[in-house]
Amino acid sequence: MASGVSNLQCEYYTPGVLGIANSSPYNPCMSYQVLARKYRPAVFKELEGQEHVLQALINALDNERLHHAYLFTGTRGVGKTTIARILARCLNCETGITSKPCGVCSTCVEISEGRSIDLIEVDAASRTGVDDMRELLDNVQYMPSVSRFKIYLIDEVHMLSRSSFNAMLKTLEEPPEHVKFLFATTDPKKLPITVLSRCLQFNLKNLSPEQIVKYLAAVLDLEAIAYDESALWQLGLAADGSMRDALSLTDQAISFGSSEVREEPVGEMLGSIDAKLVFQLLADITSANGQRLLETVAQLSDFAPDYAALLDDILAALHRIAIAQAVPGAVDNSQGDEQQVLQAAERIPSEQVQLFYQIALIGKRDLPLAPDQQSGFEMVLLRMLVFSPDPLPEALSHTPPAGAGAKPKGAPREVKRTEKKAPVKEKKAQKNKEIIAESEGKNLTMIFLFEKS
């Protein structure tokens, strides 16, 4: 299914329909509106991701095989309310039941403006009581005022009280033909099984950083706001699966960075560490460059980072590197670091990746015991350095610093690929293996000591 990005539109501005230009003083887009509201998708194809749910809904609508109760589950800001509202339009659009609501008939317009009388939106969090539910259900029997269906959209439905659920059960089992229930919840486990079994359930997925970055890029292009792609990756990772969070963070980043979304201010705003630095640390370790390692840590400490979270980042990177080594091709760019992972996977022996992982894991456990977080963190990295075999040649382990490129022109760039050097390389590999075996032994002893203490 086509992803939403190229179809994005401002909720209030449909070119050729409302017939007003972006520069029109009457265009409500001109006044500032938060991105998450401004870019609430109005048709299915504008959504990013959730293809599995959308395809099922589209098929059902196209074949008019409609259920009377739908339940959308998923964490905050992944499209539950959005999809439910679009479904309401699909059901009530004046052009007929359709998977592509017209967007211009009065029903479609009223739904998007939140004033359709036949779409009854209830926030269960604020109307939990059984009286509220009775009042609501009393009206179920009456026909819709103007539309095809009377649609009840109950958000955060898990917040309803038990007696409210009971009041609802009968209606839910045999609702009148003209009634549809659309439920949304972040916590389906709190729903009584009797309710669950009467609904068609759709589980929305968290959005991947990659999906979020793609969507943010499209939104910022429409807003004509300049951005660094790396800044979008930071936002995409920080949003933790939620598109609403991603858009809110982007709002913040825009005002923080005076109408641009750039890497450095975004990093500052999020207090997040540039993912590149994690790979820089690993490169410093594998090239046994203790001095640069400490410099990198000093650079990091400017951000007053959460060192435990930083160790998590290192663990996550090592995990992806190990995957790349075990199953080449299994690493995707969903975290925006594919290139770096692949390079590291080629560079660092797999046994060493395992060893580093173990050191980081134990280091994280012991971090609270260190006199202070930074020194604890440094010790973990220095331990990796100590337990590293011979340093890998600089050219292999790190992007050459300025001046290191003074090789004769035409010389092969990657020494490791030249055949002449192969025997040396083999010897070296053998030696590396021995050292790793030895250092693993040491590490086991070390782990053992830690376990005993």
Ligand X SMILES: Nc1ncnc2c1ncn2[C@@H]1O[C@H](COP(=O)(O)OP(=O)(O)O)[C@@H](O)[C@H]1O
Residues that bind Zn ion (CB under 5 A): 93, 101-102, 105, 108
**Residue 232 Cβ, how far from ligand X at the closest point, in Å?**
15
Q: Which part of the chain contacts ligand X (CB under 6 A), choosing from 12-20, 77-85, 284-292, 335-343?
A: 77-85
- Through-space distance between the first and last CA atoms of the chain, rounded to whole angstroms: 56
Contacts of residue 440, Cβ cutoff 8 Å, sequence gap at least 6? 351, 355
From Zn ion, Mg ion, ligand X, none, which one binds at residue 223 (CB under 5 to 8 Å depending on kind)? none
Identify the residue among 8, 42, 58, 81 touching Mg ion (CB under 5 A): 81
At 45, which amino acid appears? K
Q: What angle do CA 105, 107, 112 make, to 5 degrees?
A: 100
- Which range, of 80-88, 213-221, 240-248, 425-433, touches Mg ion by CB under 5 A? 80-88
The token pair at 376 is: 């604890």
**String of DSSP letters for 21-68:** -TT-TT-GGGS---HHHHT--SSGGGS-S-HHHHHHHHHHHHTT---S
Do residues 257 and 266 lie in contact, with contact meaning Cβ atoms separated by under 8 Å? yes
Judged by CB under 6 A, does residue 433 bind ligand X?
no
Using CB under 6 A as the binding rule, whether residue 49 contacts ligand X is answered as yes
The one of Mg ion, ligand X, Zn ion, none whose footprint includes residue 376, by CB under 5 to 8 A per kind, is none
Q: Which strand ranges, in their side-by-side order, compose the sheet holding 150-155?
A: 119-123, 150-155, 179-185, 69-73, 200-203
Closer CB to Mg ion, residue 72 or residue 307? 72
The partner in contact with residue 41, picked from Mg ion, ligand X, Zn ion, none with C-beta cut-offs of 5 to 8 angstroms by kind, is ligand X
Residue 118 contact among Zn ion, Mg ion, ligand X, none, beta carbon within 5 to 8 Å by kind: none
Residues across the chain: 453
214 binds ligand X, rule: CB under 6 A: no
If one asks whether residue 241 binds ligand X (CB under 6 A), the answer comes out as no
Is residue 417 at the binding interface for ligand X, with CB under 6 A as the rule?
Answer: no
Of 397, 389, 379, whose CA–CA distance to 352 is shortest? 389
Binding residues among 319-358 for ligand X as defined by CB under 6 A: none
Q: Does 36 bind ligand X (CB under 6 A)?
A: yes
**Vertex 143 angle, CA 157 and 102, to 5°:** 75
Size of the site for Mg ion (CB under 5 A): 2
188: tokens are 């389906």
Does 39 sit near ligand X (CB under 6 A)? yes
CA separation for the pair 82, 87 (Å, rounded): 9
Of the two residues 102 and 342, which places its CB atom closer to Zn ion in the complex? Answer: 102
218 binds ligand X (CB under 6 A): no
39 binds, among ligand X, Zn ion, Mg ion, none (CB under 5 to 8 A by kind): ligand X
Distance of closest approach, residue 180 Cβ to ligand X, in angstroms: 18
Cα(230)–Cα(227) distance, rounded to whole angstroms? 9
| Residue range at the interface with Mg ion (CB under 5 A); choices 74-82, 215-223, 306-314, 408-416 | 74-82
> According to CB under 6 A, which one of 80, 89, 150, 347 is a site residue for ligand X?
80
Please report whether residue 243 would count as binding ligand X according to CB under 6 A.
yes
Contact segment (CB under 5 A) with Mg ion among 72-80, 268-276, 279-287, 343-351 equals 72-80
Pick the closer one to Zn ion by CB: 35 or 93.
93
* Maximum C-alpha span of the chain: 87
Burial class (CB in 10 A: 0-12, 13-18, 19+), 415: middle
CA-closest candidate to residue 407, choices 394, 392, 420, 423: 394
Alpha-carbon span 310 to 364, nearest angstrom: 9
Q: Which is nearer to Zn ion, 102 or 395 (CB)?
A: 102
List contacts with Mg ion (CB under 5 A). 80-81
List contacts with ligand X (CB under 6 A). 4, 36-37, 39-41, 47-50, 74, 76-82, 184, 215, 243-244, 247
